[in-house]
Structure 1
Amino acid sequence: MSTHSQLTALRIAYLSQRWGVTPERAVMLAAIIFGEARG
């Protein structure tokens, strides 16, 4: 696992806890908020 994906996984875990949502939902929200959902 690369450092970047480790940081991303930790960020997703943190956000899912902070927002009180599932990790899957946090991934979707983070992609929208951080502009990672390009395509």
Structure 2
Amino acid sequence: MQFSNLHLMHAQQNRDTKLECYNKETIAKITQAELMH
């Protein structure tokens, strides 16, 4: 039980990190696009 809870928590953290990276990339692209205009 303990192990599966830790595993779930870890998976959640991984998802959050990936989402954060994705958001940063998206923001960077949008910023670049705005600077181009």
TM, length-normalised to structure 1: 0.48
What is the count of residue pairs matched by the alignment?
A: 20
Bigger radius of gyration: 2
RMSD of aligned alpha carbons: 1.5
Structure 1 alignment gaps of length 5 or more = 21-39
5+ long unaligned stretches in structure 2: 1-8, 29-37
Q: Which has the higher contact order (CA 8 A, sep 6+)?
A: 1
Moved over 2 A (4+): none
So what's the TM-score if we normalise by structure 2? 0.50
